[in-house]
Amino acid sequence: MNDAAWWAMNRVFAGHTLLYRASRGHLGHHLPGAPPMLLLDHVGARSEKRRTSPLGYVRDGDAYVLIASKGGEPKHPSWYHNLLAHPDTTIQVGSKRLPVSARVATREERARVWPRAVETYGGYAGYQKRTDREIPLVMLEPRA
């Protein structure tokens, strides 16, 4: 995707985040043709700037699992790098805000959860075909 397309997508994501927060998750959690969405709060790995990203997820027990696809682009999304640097964060799922800790799924976890992610949103399979990198899954686990 070129810079102009990413700029436009970021504006859409900002609007989605605003609507999600303002409606306490009543709008934006479920979108037609998309996986369920949550809001991920994260801190820039280098900038230390606070950000929020609307992202699709699947569940695995108590964990919320994010798919770091970036639409099949060659590089991981920024939020992925941010979570590696600052794994303790919060998410909003519907009206609930939850403290979580992020970690990259193990090979075994990925093998188990990836098919469920593709079943939830078929686009992930196409994204994986478009890139040489293995798309990581990020486990967001509740913390006290």
Where exactly are the structural domains of the chain?
3-142
- Enter the pTM of the model: 0.91
- Averaged pLDDT, 17-43: 91
CATH of 3-142, one of 2.30.110.10, 3.30.1540.20, 3.10.310.30, 3.30.300.130: 2.30.110.10
| Euclidean distance between CA atoms 102 and 139, whole angstroms | 6
Q: What pLDDT score does 9 carry?
A: 76
List, for residues 81-125, the tens digit of each pLDDT value: 999 999 999 999 999 999 999 999 999 999 999 999 999 999 999
Q: How confident is the model at residue 1 (pLDDT cuts 50, 70, 90)?
A: low
| Euclidean distance between CA atoms 92 and 38, whole angstroms | 6
| Euclidean distance between CA atoms 57 and 121, whole angstroms | 10
Largest CA distance in the chain: 41
List, for residues 33-81, the tens digit of each pLDDT value: 889 999 999 999 999 999 999 999 999 999 999 999 999 999 999 999 9
Cβ partners under 8 Å of residue 74, min gap 6: 131, 132, 133
Q: What pLDDT score does 144 carry?
A: 79
Residue closest to 37 by CA, chosen among 94, 109, 119: 94
